[in-house]
Amino acid sequence: MFEPAVNSGFILSIVVHISIFIGALIALLCYLTKKDARIYKHMKVLSGPPGLPLVGNVLSLIGPHENILGTVLEWVKVHGTCFGGYLVNIPYVVVCDAYSVEKILSSTTHINKGNDYEKFLKDWLGTGLLTARREKWFHRRKLLTPTFHFKILEDFLPVFNNHAQILTAMLENQVEQSDSFNICPFISRCTLDVICETAMGEKINAQIGGEEEYVKMVTGMTDILLIKGITPWYRNQYIWNLTSMGKLEAKYLKEMHDFTDKMIRYRKSDRKRKSISERRNSNANPSPAANDNLEGQKTRRAFLDLLLDVQENDEQFTDADIREEVDTFMFEGHDTTGANLEWVILMLACNPECQKLAYEEIQTIFGNDMDRDVTTGDLKELKYLECCIKETLRLYPSVPFFIRSMDQDCALDERRIIPKGSSVVISPYLLHRHSAVFSNPEKFDPERFFIENAAGRHPYAYVPFSAGPRNCIGQKFAMMEEKVLLASLLRRFKLEPVDTVETVPVVPDLILRPKCGIKVRLVSREMK
């Protein structure tokens, strides 16, 4: 008599649990459908290329990576400068007109980066400035902005000049063996040397074969991240961890973090040592300049030192925080400038009349002196060269697209709303090819950036460094570095084309790069 009672209680309990489970499932489905229906309604208005059920537009983007830009340019021609689509189940809106770009970038509401940033960069960069979410980002940006002050950047000029000298020496050696060659590895090693010394205060001598392992890791990591990003099945962490690349990534990450940690420890103990001797010194001599060492020379401070200064005033700013910012500078400050320099070299080689104007400007400033360091005053005078860099960034923006994830709706007008829950892709590559803003857009024409020609242009029509509150914090640094390197290069060599725009496939990796490098011919200038 007793047993059936137990059984009926047991059955009742199962029924209740199953009902709760089914109820919860229905509620979840209702919520998701309602949420998706809302997004879907707005996405329909932003109609873009038709996709397939379940996969959306993914299949159109599979294939040789260099075809992606062409595909998206075609979409813009057909669907206009603001359209939506799905990558699997993720709603994306591509915007590439100045008006819509301003709506997103000028706002402090749409400040969060796309989810992919965290997914791919978090293991390496933590949640530093590039990837940080709203509150953390506001705090960090405020903390770090002073470290990019012009006065501080001026202190890096000797570093830029020193590595420019090494670059030209290495190229002279190369020219003796063969005058036409792929210049990209030379540029990449040079920008890596610059960023290591300015970010960490450490010379790694990549240009002359030093710290080979570290150089291999930094360049290898960006390649690995790209493969991980574009291969759909590698997006699954379990599958990725089983691959040889996943294992290599884990090894690189550990060793690169160890390297940055070592630098932090080293600079910290160096500061302790110096502050003891400075205190002793200031007792003996009460007025030495803050940055002078015992020999009276000005000691150069790296970003890492400036971050350690921040830490002295803010105990919450830990060593781990410092590491993620130093790693972020290493990532953002190396390939971006390197790729831009490579494209400038191609543009000047292929446009001899522009190269001639750039060289004439350099001659006016430096005369026939090939060795003099570039000064702050010279940087201001290198106006045409700056226009060449800007025009190259128009055609070949180092960061070909960036993504914001929408935490709120953004109304473009009464009809079109970019819905909360979607991701917005902003592509300078597409934006900068707007013929209404840049006539004959494929033509390399530095004069577009003469003050009188740029006047009246929409401020969000040209955004190679992004724009608004979350723009590139390193843009002045990049401009200074590039001007120094290019002025030094052009003083010594005339550039002649081997590759041309037509022969160099453009690959929109994390960075917009030439697929197989850029071959140029360097001709030494004959003046002593």
User: Interface with ligand HEM by CB under 6 A: which residues?
Assistant: 113, 129-130, 141, 328-329, 332-333, 336-337, 340, 398-399, 402, 464-466, 470, 472-474, 477-478
**Beta carbon of residue 150, minimum distance to ligand HEM (angstroms, whole number):** 14
Nearer residue to ligand HEM within complex by CB, 317 or 402 = 402
- Nearest Cα neighbor of 214 from 269, 260, 246 is 260
**Beta carbon of residue 462, minimum distance to ligand HEM (angstroms, whole number):** 12
Nearer residue to ligand HEM within complex by CB, 354 or 467 = 467
The two beta strands, 180-182 and 402-405, are unpaired
Nearer residue to ligand HEM within complex by CB, 118 or 211 = 118
**Beta carbon of residue 265, minimum distance to ligand HEM (angstroms, whole number):** 22
Nearer residue to ligand HEM within complex by CB, 366 or 433 = 433
Nearer residue to ligand HEM within complex by CB, 39 or 424 = 424
> DSSP secondary-structure letter at 466?
B
Nearer residue to ligand HEM within complex by CB, 186 or 477 = 477
Nearer residue to ligand HEM within complex by CB, 83 or 329 = 329
**Beta carbon of residue 308, minimum distance to ligand HEM (angstroms, whole number):** 17
**3-state secondary structure (DSSP) of residue 122:** helix
Nearer residue to ligand HEM within complex by CB, 269 or 471 = 471
By beta-carbon distance, which residue lies closest to ligand HEM? Answer: 474
**Beta carbon of residue 326, minimum distance to ligand HEM (angstroms, whole number):** 10
The two beta strands, 423-426 and 90-95, are parallel
The answer to whether the CB of 335 falls within 8 A of the CB of 398 is yes
Q: What angle do CA 108, 430, 505 make, to 5 degrees?
A: 130
**Beta carbon of residue 527, minimum distance to ligand HEM (angstroms, whole number):** 30
**Cα within 13 Å of Cα(99), Cβ side:** 6
Q: Where are the alpha helices (DSSP H) in 314-432?
A: 319-332, 335-350, 352-366, 376-381, 383-395, 428-431
**Beta carbon of residue 145, minimum distance to ligand HEM (angstroms, whole number):** 9
At 189, list the tokens: 């090693």
SS3 content of the chain, % helix, strand, coil (to 5): 60, 10, 30
End-to-end Cα spacing for the chain: 113
**Beta carbon of residue 143, minimum distance to ligand HEM (angstroms, whole number):** 11
Q: Measure the CA–CA gap between 404 and 419, rounded to whole angstroms.
A: 12
Place of tokens 């002078």: 292
The answer to whether the CB of 419 falls within 8 A of the CB of 91 is yes
Q: Measure the CA–CA gap between 447 and 444, rounded to whole angstroms.
A: 9
Nearer residue to ligand HEM within complex by CB, 69 or 366 = 69
Q: Measure the CA–CA gap between 476 and 155, rounded to whole angstroms.
A: 13
**Beta carbon of residue 474, minimum distance to ligand HEM (angstroms, whole number):** 2
**3-state secondary structure (DSSP) of residue 96:** coil
